[in-house]
Amino acid sequence: MFSLINPDGSVRDRLPLTLDEMKALYADMVEARTYDDKSMAMQRQGRLATYAPFRGQEAAQIGAAAALAEDDWVAATYRDAALNWRAGYPWELLILGRTGDERGGQVPEGVNILPPSITVGGHMIHAVGLSWAEKLSGSDRIALTSFGDGATSEGDFHEAMNFASVYRTPTVFLCQNNGYAISYPTSEQTRSDTIAVKADAYGMPGIRVDGNDVVAVLVAVREAVSLARAGDGPSLIEAVTYRMGPHTTADDPDRYRDGSDVTVWAERDPLERVRLLLERQGAWDEDWQTELESEASETIEAAVAWAESVPPPTFAEMLNRVYAQPSPALREHLETGEPSQM
């Protein structure tokens, strides 16, 4: 497994990043974790619909997104808020989406990120199509798709991997193997030793990387992105990580796992090892941490405030977004339908 930073903050190899870049990655992870914590709390207060926390997976997501160019395509999942945000999806729209508002999917022009996929497996092939189109039009834009270990069981994973390799599309497949598909452990989902090895079935490079090591992920995804951009086709990256929280706020992990793994993985926390690394280099102190956290908090609070200030969609808005022009039936609904009492 490819890894560069040990859990204690020591490094295995020279890191290809400046100290400032390391600090920026750390700051991003802190901001992401703040968002995650805040979202869990808001959901408990009934201010968000079900929420899928990514605690423990910050390195995989921030590291991957940091390897992308601004206008690359991203097709990721309900758990990938950190990845999407770092790739350009504004927090406020992610939050708006989680309040249960379709307008959360309306990213600004120039941001090429699909709304988080709720179906497991269906979105990987979209990244193939997106990047295929870019290849055909001669642009050097690529697409990254992020998905879980569970998604690799879907037939759509197979078709996406196959199309990407057959047409050599500039696609990066990032699997965050976080140990579970809801309650079903990765070890039972498949009999292959790793997920990375599945790339062989498509003649595609596959690599396994420590998903809690933000630099290792960044380096691996950067390599895959370069291959793709250079016309050398798709790759699969398995980022081995762990979902520290429940599957979603509706889930109770005690039904299917005892706490022992959680304890083990807590020692491998993706933020802590970078903090230690920075501390070793004299680039971290409590003040900076406090500053980071309070800035992040303010940012997220502001995003929440904005999202919560958006008036709910009207009846007409609900019906006007199905087609470019509403169908005759929708026009009738608009005329005769009684808007309900919210």
Partner 1 sequence: MPEVNLAQAINGALDTALRNDPRVVLLGEDIGRAGGVFRITDGLRASHGPDRVFDTPVAESGIVGAAFGMAVAGMHPIAELQFLGFSYPAYDQIINHVARIRNRTNHRFSAPMVIRIPYGGGIGAAEHHSESTEAIYAHIPGIKVVVPSTPADARGLLLAAVEDPDPVIFLEPIRLYRAIREDVPEAVDRVEIGPVRVERSGDDITLISWGAMMKETRAAAGALAEDGYSVEVIDVRTLAPLDRDGIVASVEKTGRAVIIHEAPLTGGFGGEIAATITERALYSLLAPIKRVTGWDTVFPLKRSEAHYLPSVDRIVSAAHETLEV
Could you tell me which of 82, 85, 107, 42 has the C-alpha nearest to residue 308? 42
**Residue 188 beta carbon to ligand TPP: minimum distance, rounded to whole angstroms:** 12
- 126 belongs to the catalytic site: no
Residue 243 in the binding site for ligand TPP (CB under 6 A):
yes
CB atoms within 10 A of CB 146: 32
Contact 170, 134 (CB under 8 A): yes
Q: How far apart, in Å, are the Cα atoms of 176 and each of 24, 208, 298?
A: 22, 10, 29
Three-state DSSP state, 207: strand
**Residue 279 beta carbon to partner 1: minimum distance, rounded to whole angstroms:** 39
From 12, 44, 184, 256, the catalytic residue: 256
- What distance in Å separates the CA atoms of residue 75 and residue 114, rounded to the nearest whole number? 5
Residue 101 binding result from ligand TPP, partner 1, Mg ion, none, given CB thresholds of 5 to 8 Å by partner type = partner 1
Contact 205, 213 (CB under 8 A): no
CA 243-246-252 angle, to 5 degrees, is: 140
From 123, 243, 268, 275, the catalytic residue: 243
- Per the structure block, which two tokens stand in for 105? 């999917």
- What distance in Å separates the CA atoms of residue 128 and residue 25, rounded to the nearest whole number? 28
- 180 belongs to the catalytic site: no
- Per the structure block, which two tokens stand in for 245? 């929280």
Residue 149 in the binding site for Mg ion (CB under 5 A):
yes
Q: Which residue has the tokens 């295929």?
A: 132
Which residues ranging from 144 to 183 are in contact with ligand TPP (CB under 6 A)? 147-151, 178, 180-182
- 243 belongs to the catalytic site: yes
Query: Which residue's CB is nearer to ligand TPP, number 141 or number 247?
Result: 247
Binding map of a copy of itself across residues 144-183, x = CB under 8 A, - = no contact:
---------xxxxxxx--x--xx-----------------
Rg from Cα positions in the chain: 21
Residue 58 in the binding site for ligand TPP (CB under 6 A):
no
From 86, 98, 141, 247, the catalytic residue: 247
Contact 157, 127 (CB under 8 A): no
**Residue 255 beta carbon to a copy of itself: minimum distance, rounded to whole angstroms:** 21
**Residue 286 beta carbon to partner 1: minimum distance, rounded to whole angstroms:** 39
Which residues ranging from 198 to 217 are in contact with a copy of itself (CB under 8 A)? 198, 200-204
Q: What is the largest CA-CA distance in the chain?
A: 68
Query: Which residue's CB is nearer to ligand TPP, number 135 or number 247?
Result: 247
Burial class from Cβ neighbours inside 10 Å (0-12, 13-18, 19+) for residue 304 reads buried
Question: How many residues interact with ligand TPP (rule CB under 6 A)?
Answer: 16
Residue 252 binding result from ligand TPP, a copy of itself, Mg ion, none, given CB thresholds of 5 to 8 Å by partner type = none
Catalytically annotated residues = 243, 247, 256
Instruction: Kindly list the residues in this chain that would bind ligand TPP in the complex (CB under 6 A).
Output: 79, 118-121, 147-151, 178, 180-182, 243, 247
Instruction: Kindly list the residues in this chain that would bind Mg ion in the complex (CB under 5 A).
Output: 148-150, 178, 180
Instruction: Kindly list the residues in this chain that would bind a copy of itself in the complex (CB under 8 A).
Output: 153-159, 162, 165-166, 188-193, 197-198, 200-204
